[in-house]
Chain A
Amino acid sequence: MRDVAIIGAGETKYGEHWDKSLRDLAVEAGLKALEDAGICAEDIQAIFGGNMSAGSFVGQDHVGALIADFAGLAEHKIPAMRIESACASGAAALHTGYMAVASGMYDIVLVGGVEKMTDLPGDMVTDILAGAADREWEVFLGATFPSLAAMMARRYMYEYGMTREQMALFPVIAHKHGAMNPDAHFQREITVDDVLNAPMVADPLTLMNCSPVSDGAAAVVLAPAEIAKKYTDSPIKILASTYANEYISLHSRKSLTESLSTIEAGRKAYKMAKKEPKDIDLAEIHDAFSIIAIEGLEGLGFAKKGEAAKLAEEGQLYYDGNLPYNPSGGLKAKGHPVGATGVGQVVEIVKQLRNEAGKRQVENARVGMAHNVGGTMTSSIVHILEVM
């Protein structure tokens, strides 16, 4: 296994892109990443693209081939494939690209993620996203994604006494950061009352405890670490890329208040990177729903079980706090184009580690972590990155 580095990164703005198609978004992000790496499309030897459900959202499958074609690579005949792990598709594509370079099979690899979600009405989007759960034994009976997250939250509140007010701090922090990110879907601050008084989606989760439906794409270029400095003065090394799964349905799990997949992916990542939670300077944590971020922070060792809300109350999670959390705005404020999200989290960490994050820049950031989740924390993928 070789060490792998990111030599370029780029993304589109996240939001409602009524004027842009799936391919427009993917090609825009890909070309930005190539431009950033200072290479041409012809230099790419393989493409791995994260995408959850273009077949359902826009009726387009075979996304890898489509993107390679419209990036101008049809004549080069390179392999290009779509990687799917529900909302963790982006990080799954990065995990695949990492293996491809680490193994020595390919040198220059483009990893992308894209989702075009706003072409359909809300009830259809809800139904497609529910495909990340068990269609036959959860969704058939009336479960939606927010309702499954709500049942995690209800149980967590029952076991640990967390209040809705405490849970509301997570979207408040996300929006504070999103307001400083010009590429975020939502660039405005909100209050605890805004969260509590928003329309109820699935009790106890209001609309403001849930990430939005967004369009967007993100991409990074990977190269062997030993030659990364040939391309850029500021390559970012991938210290760890780990992936763990557990039972797809909530009802099959012993507990709804801890994520075994996150605990396992985190444990392996710290070991692979030879780091501990205290070494992480900033973390992009999957916050599709506030409860998922809470169980994510605990599973990754940043808080004891039942105590993640304390970090929020103490102000530690702001970009200038002890554990800068989702400085991009997270899924909640930056947006959640599901297949793009995992790659977009890593694009944010690259910007932060290169000191290019503008107003939301975390001081002295050298080590960053990205935590991307598929389903109800069924799949968890963790990446740890470091300045070279």
Chain B
Amino acid sequence: MVVPRFWRERRYRYSLIGTRCPVCGTVYFPPRSVCPKCGRKSMGKMEEVQLSGKGKVYSYTIVHQNVLGFKYQKPYVMAIIETPEGPKITGQIVDVDPEEVHIGMPVHAVFRRIAEDGNSGIIQYGYKFVPDENP
């Protein structure tokens, strides 16, 4: 991945900023410029919204494959997190024994290095999730 492609999304990725449709109120992450429910009525009107970073595990898996950029992390836990604001988010769960992870487990987002050096040697950052002691 080259620099601009990564840089473009960094604000949303670093800060968990999504969008809300002012017509129906649905919150989306990642951000969308059109609401799939309201279509044209939402065009040009989507508002940015800050997510709390809190959530619960909706589903998860433990990855044992060799994955480019993630080789030194394996095995690692990938999950889909259900947030109180509405959207679900895909991300890793870290600082946890993989055997402890379960559906419904409370987690919160943290800012971390995502992948080891990619093809272009850039270190990429974004969100991961950790167990939430005070849900």
- A and B co-occur in one complex: yes
Which residues of A does B touch, CB under 8 Å?
122-124, 126-127, 136-138, 140-144, 146-147, 150-152, 154-155, 158, 199-205, 247, 249-252, 256
10 A–B contacts, CB within 8 A, in A order? A127-B67, A136-B30, A137-B30, A142-B67, A142-B70, A142-B114, A151-B61, A201-B65, A203-B61, A203-B64
Residues of B within 8 A of A147 (CB): 61, 63, 65, 78
Of A127, A155, A204, A251, the residue contacting B89 (CB under 8 A) is A251
Main secondary structure of the interface of B (DSSP, over half): strand
In the complex the two chains form, what is the Cα distance from A179 to B37 in whole Å? 47
Contact A202 B62 (CB under 8 A): yes
A/B pair count, beta carbons within 8 Å: 99
Contact B60 A252 (CB under 8 A): no
In the complex the two chains form, what is the Cα distance from A146 to B89 in whole Å? 18
Return the chain A residue nearest B71 by Cβ. Answer: A123
Residues of B within 8 A of A247 (CB): 36
B103 within 8 A of A: yes
Contact A136 B60 (CB under 8 A): no
Within 8 A of A (CB), among B70-92: 70-71, 73, 76, 78-80, 87-92
Residues of A within 8 A of B60 (CB): 151, 154
Of B61, B68, B91, the residue contacting A141 (CB under 8 A) is B91
In the complex the two chains form, what is the Cα distance from A158 to B82 in whole Å? 15
In the complex the two chains form, what is the Cα distance from A231 to B130 in whole Å? 64
Which residues of B does A touch, CB under 8 Å?
9, 30, 36, 58-68, 70-71, 73, 76, 78-80, 87-92, 103, 114-115, 124, 126-128
In the complex the two chains form, what is the Cα distance from A252 to B67 in whole Å? 23
Contact A200 B64 (CB under 8 A): yes
Residues of A within 8 A of B61 (CB): 147, 150-151, 154, 202-205
Of B36, B64, B88, B114, the residue contacting A140 (CB under 8 A) is B114
Contact B126 A141 (CB under 8 A): yes
Residues of A within 8 A of B115 (CB): 140, 142
In the complex the two chains form, what is the Cα distance from A120 to B128 in whole Å? 30
Contact A202 B64 (CB under 8 A): yes
Closest Cβ–Cβ distance, residue B124 to chain A (whole Å)? 7
Main secondary structure of the interface of A (DSSP, over half): helix
Contact B126 A140 (CB under 8 A): yes
Question: Known: A151-B79, A154-B103. Contact between A142 and B59, CB under 8 A?
Answer: no
| Given A141-B90, A155-B59, A201-B65; 7 other pairs, CB 8 A cutoff | A123-B65, A123-B71, A127-B68, A144-B65, A154-B59, A247-B36, A251-B87
Question: Known: A154-B103, A251-B89. Contact between A144 and B58, CB under 8 A?
Answer: no
Closest Cβ–Cβ distance, residue B24 to chain A (whole Å)? 15
In the complex the two chains form, what is the Cα distance from A191 to B67 in whole Å? 29
In the complex the two chains form, what is the Cα distance from A200 to B61 in whole Å? 11
Contact A202 B92 (CB under 8 A): no
Residues of A within 8 A of B70 (CB): 142
Residues of A within 8 A of B88 (CB): 250-252
Closest Cβ–Cβ distance, residue A120 to chain B (whole Å)? 11
Contact A151 B64 (CB under 8 A): no
Return the chain B residue nearest A250 by Cβ. Answer: B80
Closest Cβ–Cβ distance, residue A221 to chain B (whole Å)? 39
Return the chain B residue nearest A202 by Cβ. Answer: B61
Residues of A within 8 A of B78 (CB): 141-143, 147, 151, 202
Return the chain B residue nearest A152 by Cβ. Answer: B59
Residues of A within 8 A of B59 (CB): 151-152, 154-155, 158, 256
Q: Most A CB atoms within 10 A — which of B30, B58, B67?
A: B67
Closest Cβ–Cβ distance, residue A124 to chain B (whole Å)? 7
In the complex the two chains form, what is the Cα distance from A152 to B79 in whole Å? 11
Contact B64 A142 (CB under 8 A): no
In the complex the two chains form, what is the Cα distance from A301 to B59 in whole Å? 25
Closest Cβ–Cβ distance, residue A119 to chain B (whole Å)? 16
In the complex the two chains form, what is the Cα distance from A140 to B9 in whole Å? 11
Question: Known: A142-B70, A147-B78. Contact between A137 and B64, CB under 8 A?
Answer: no
